[in-house]
Amino acid sequence: MKDLIAMCAVFLLLMTFPLQYALNTKNHYSMSLMQKHVNNAKEVARQDGYFTADTIKSLKTSISNDFGIKDTDVIIEVTEVGDKKVRGELIHYKVTVPLNQIIAANVFWGITDQDNRASYVIENFAASEWVTE
């Protein structure tokens, strides 16, 4: 009987590792989707010389749909209309998205849901390809 009790305790402890692997895979997939959306928006902005309001709205919508979060949770800081860049100048962009679960079975390890969060940030520059008319 004591072996059964010990085996149950060890089994519960060891089951957290496959759960963590699955969660890591999910988070990695979400981050790669975000990178894809940001890269697509960046390429559009390179052609326009800045991030248009439509490009920003489209980026927010696509990221929020894939992550299952609200549009307001996606924070985008970019070169906008007032600062149109000509060919060769740099367009800055920074996109921040919250990841709501980092550790699987966090309650088992004594980690609160509030502490089990992080933000994924993509920040970079892209060379503008916009040529003045």
pLDDT for 66-106, tens place per residue? Answer: 888 888 888 888 877 667 777 878 888 999 998 888 888 88
pLDDT reading at 22 higher than 80? yes
- Amino acid 81: pLDDT: 64
Average pLDDT of the residues in 11-17: 76
How confident is the model over 26-71, as pLDDT tens digits?
989 888 999 999 999 999 988 888 888 898 999 999 998 888 888 8
Q: What is the pLDDT of residue 133?
A: 63
60 burial via Cβ count (<10 Å: 0-12, 13-18, 19+): buried
Q: Give 49's contacts (C-beta < 8 A, 6+ positions apart).
A: 84, 85, 86, 91, 128, 129, 130
Question: In the chain, where are the structural domains located?
Answer: 2-127
The three-class DSSP label of residue 96 is strand
pTM: 0.79
